[in-house]
Amino acid sequence: MVPNMEKIKMTTPLVEMDGDEMTRIIWQMIKDKLICPFVDLKTEYYDLGLEKRNETDDQITIDSAEATKKYGVAVKCATITPNAERVKEYSLKKMWKSPNGTIRAILDGTVLRAPIIVKGIEPFVKTWTKPIIIARHAYGDVYKNSEMTIEGKAKAELLVTTADGKEIRQLIHDFDGNGVLMGMHNTEASIKSFARACFNYAIDQRVDCWFSTKDTISKIYDHTFKDIFQEIFENEYQAKFEELGIEYFYTLIDDAVARVIRSDGGFLWACKNYDGDVMSDMVATAFGSLAMMTSVLVSPDGKFEYEAAHGTVQRHYYNHLKGKETSTNSMATIFAWTGALKKRGELDGLKDLVSFADKLEEASIQTIEEGIMTKDLALLSTVENKRTVNTEEFLDAIAERLVAKI
Ligand code: NAP
Ligand code: MG
């Protein structure tokens, strides 16, 4: 810490959601080395580690989401989503749901992902000099479908029974032989909140917003998405976009894909659930590494929950437990903290806090650009004289540079 430096004060607490395994180890180190020496950190702490979730029958997850609604900004560590193996490993009372799913359902959010860009880790697409933010609708479509196989000759119809008992039928297909069939849905309320989350985040980041679907083929389903976005944009956001000099435009998904590849980045790409699932993995990989991808859940009423896009890095944790050296990249978790601190600072008018978060981001990027990095990046980096460091050394190298900036 800088001698005689007065710590930066906070007014409203951040909602802090602690997590599991290697990311839990990193979480504590980030606080100890990079935040608490400089900031009089105020958080409302929720332990979402699997043991605590099990002990509280997962009430802790619900409480943390409610706290996020109350205070507006949260920072979350990666957490284990239990499967059968984890139920055994942790002697769980039951296979608790994914914390992210629970939090998303309570906040009614959209997930936005953006890569952290550093010199030396070059995107596979050479023109991408600015981040591409993917906004993925996280409700419905193929993820909440109903599907079946058809055997032999069969007539398949859509049947809707309205509240007053009326039946509406529509032919899907007259099967001559075996086949497959699927029904899916979305709701106007969810599409509207998706649209608002995208427009709010584009305004927050001062970037253009692109939206794409296949409305030429899906003239009702996808077209409804297009119409809702257009209506909400015109009625609620157009004036603000014009004021900021940013743009909203809609295009067909095939055209969007071609434009994205030719672009230099620097925009938000709103995607339907499936498109967002596929495209976010493609964009993340094309930018370099999962450990450099940040994620934020934005609710339609402007609540923010920041996290890393990766998981708890279980393999590294088991090595850590065996006393072996680890080289886990903490960038995405650091940026979850800086994102949350910056947002808290903006909302509370704390310029020092915003500027601290900026400096921490700069120090982190500088560390990698000067050739000090964890193993995952060392494999990709084109920087000369790079040095591969362990988990803790990487954070110490950032701390050194941060002190120099403060
Ligand atoms: P993961 O934790 O993302 O790790 C997969 C692999 O990616 C690691 O083994 C490692 O590769 C590499 N990696 C990921 N993050 C890294 C980092 N920060 N630094 C260096 N390398 C990194 O995914 P997983 O192993 O499939 O899942 C582990 C647990 O995380 C699961 O229990 C899952 O439920 C949970 N999870 C949570 C979230 C969340 O809370 N948002 C998201 C996804 C998964 P190498 O082993 O080759 O070094
Ligand atoms: Mg996926």
Distance 245 CA to ligand 1 centre (A): 38
Task: Name the 3-class secondary structure at 390.
Answer: coil
Distance 273 CA to ligand 2 centre (A): 10
Amino acid at 236: E
- Euclidean distance between CA atoms 127 and 288, whole angstroms: 14
- Residues by chain with Cβ below 5 Å of ion ligand 2: 277, 281
* Probe residue for ligand 1, chosen from 313, 320, 330, 381 as the CB with the greatest number of ligand atoms within 8 Å: 313
pLDDT in single tens digits along all 406 residues of the chain: 555 679 999 999 999 999 999 999 999 999 999 999 999 999 999 999 999 999 999 999 999 999 999 999 999 999 999 999 999 999 999 999 989 888 987 887 788 998 898 999 888 898 999 999 999 998 889 888 899 999 999 999 999 999 999 999 999 999 999 999 999 999 999 999 999 999 999 998 999 999 999 999 999 999 999 999 999 999 999 999 999 999 999 999 999 999 999 999 999 999 999 999 889 888 988 887 888 989 999 887 889 999 998 999 999 999 999 999 999 999 999 999 999 999 999 999 999 999 999 999 999 999 999 999 999 999 989 999 999 999 999 999 999 999 999 8
Query: Is residue 81 lining ligand 1, measured as CB closer than 6 Å?
Result: yes
Closest to 136 measured CA to CA, from 252, 278, 41? 278
Query: Is residue 398 lining ligand 1, measured as CB closer than 6 Å?
Result: no
Sequence ranges of the domains in the chain? 1-121+293-406, 126-142+193-287, 146-183
Tell me, what's the pLDDT at 299? 84
- Euclidean distance between CA atoms 193 and 199, whole angstroms: 10
Tell me, what's the pLDDT at 122? 85
Question: In DSSP terms, which residues pair with 14 in a beta bridge?
Answer: 43
Q: What is the domain class of 1-121+293-406 according to CATH? A: alpha beta
For residue 330, the ligand 1 atom closest to its alpha carbon is 18
Write b or e for each residue in 44-74: b if 16 or more Cβ atoms lie within 10 A of its Cβ, otherwise e. bebbbbbebbbeeebebbbebbebbeebbbb
Tell me, what's the pLDDT at 1? 53
Distance 310 CA to ligand 1 centre (A): 5
Cα separation values, 277 from 73, 138, 270, 284, Å: 25, 9, 11, 11
For residue 310, the ligand 1 atom closest to its alpha carbon is 3
Task: Name the 3-class secondary structure at 50.
Answer: helix
Query: Is residue 78 lining ligand 1, measured as CB closer than 6 Å?
Result: yes
Query: Is residue 312 lining ligand 1, measured as CB closer than 6 Å?
Result: yes
